[in-house]
Structure 1
Amino acid sequence: MFTALSATSAAGQTPTALSAFAILMQMLRWADKRHPYCRMLIDSDLLGMEREDVIVGDYDPEEHEGTRVFDDAELREFARRLARSTLPVNAKLLMLIMVSTGKRIRETCMGEWASLNFETGEWTIPKEHAKNNRESIVYLSAFTLRLFHALRAISAGRYMFPARRHKGKKIERPITPNSISTAIRDRQVTPKDYKLNAVDWDILVLDGGRWTSHDLRRTAATTMQRLGVGESIIHRCLNHTAKKAKDAAVATDSIKLGRIYLRRAYEAEMRDAWKRLGTHLEQVMAVADTMPVLMAARGSNE
């Protein structure tokens, strides 16, 4: 299986191999938590595989990372178009929460209300939901907290973003990242790609080109940087590990004891970073036909 992926990489199709690897690892992590599949993985080292094990040659994934970032004009247009779309209200709020917190799509989709404290404005993301298997705390800005209040009014179950239906029946499970990614992609098609059953086929098209859910996270980080937030604080807000964050100050935090005892040491700086981001987004997005519509939304997601 992995040999086939390496062969794909060797053939010059490393991005394709890495995409397939990510999907495969997602499937294995799912299986590892469920019987009887987990028993099949007990003596296997598949879950320990890294993307570097698939890459053949000198391809560096970090050099090929996306660079798509929304500027203020695109943020404003993004909010306008999002409000006008026929997407469910919870999907709209999910995207706004992502761009105002910088959290990954999986971390956001899997959010549970029990992990959010409205009184303190803290959202705890458990390690089980994190890409790096590391718990993190988001100190919500007033802007993001209002988004969560609007979401709470239409989502009263266990999950912040519950799946609508499965095989025609209501079930208690979170929405999948793929469903959000597909919703974004299918609303950025050209007339050539248009299908008769498509809805809002170009409603999320922006001047800067196609974008994905991960670009919302990148936009949050870049906007923080533009607002004067230091790189080490941005990396902490994004819950980057030392491997990802090459900043020396962040590398220090990668030490196990540092992660335990320094967790609250940067709380004030992180709160300020998210506050700056939220205040800026509210100023940029608060146009007559956008935020009031979303904030007042109490519609159903059925």
Structure 2
Amino acid sequence: MDLKPLLGIHHVSAITANAKENYDFYTKTLGLRLVKKTVNQDDTSMYHLFYADERGNPGTDLTFFEIPFAGRTQYGTNTISATSLRVPNDESLNYWKMRLEEYEVDHDEIMKDSGRATLAFRDFEGQRLILVSDEKNEGVAGGTPWEKSTVPKEHGILGLGPVVLTVSRLERTTKSLINVLGFREKGRYRTKIDGSEKDVFVFETGEGGTGAEVHVVECKDLPSERQGRGSVHHVAFRVENEKELKKWVKVTSELNIPNSGFVERYYFRSLYFREPNGILFELATDGPGFETDEDFEHLGENLALPPYFEDQRESIEAKLKPLDTKE
């Protein structure tokens, strides 16, 4: 079947136990825009918050499911162990280091990974994040920071950078990325993880660059991670349109990969499956986008529900703790 290459990373979805603190951190400290306040469509009793560039362009969305009683993450292997956020250049990292110190955010020192300057940090729940400089980036273009952001536009977050996967069996994930999803092996670099040097293998798709890479490291001596607040639920990769997504549904089924089939998410269409080490992958279409039911100026201000949930609005809102996002 004639499949087009995946275009890059679409979004990353993580877990928080506190929507209000989460909203404050990602909008006020990191300067992202809340482009959609909605619910988890598989469990409408919980919020699903989408933070992104000015309008939620594909490749810029970091999303969170609020699970109020989520326990602490028990870190381990077979997981998405870090999410990168792109910033314009190396000088931006100096700005961010000072900002993280000002806001008393736990962070490491600026370093070089795979030829790029990076700055690792953790949010208030231990979510593992990495700021990565786009100064030398060639590949998928970044997004556009919101003009009303708390962060100056010249240093604003442009979107998602590489996701880091930590796995127990490298060859399993490698085969899935290359043979199923069509990624290319780009190279490798050495980095220090928990005090020891590790090889990190880099894979890319589409135009490549920071917005289209997956970095994989093998750790055989750890138990599988137990997800909780501060962990990543899944990563989604970009598919051009619904027609192309339906091809992927057919291909994964022909390969006997257990999958969700075609899923309607209203703001995009999706397909879910797990790679052989158990990490949840999603393929998601670039459209229709977040302005389907809200205009640009008022994205994220009110609780948005897809039309197929609108008749349940009263009962859905009754289960949610009010979250003021009009500040």
Shorter-chain TM-score above 0.5: no
Structure ranking higher in helix proportion: 1
More strand by share: 2
Q: Bin the TM-score by the shorter chain.
A: under 0.3
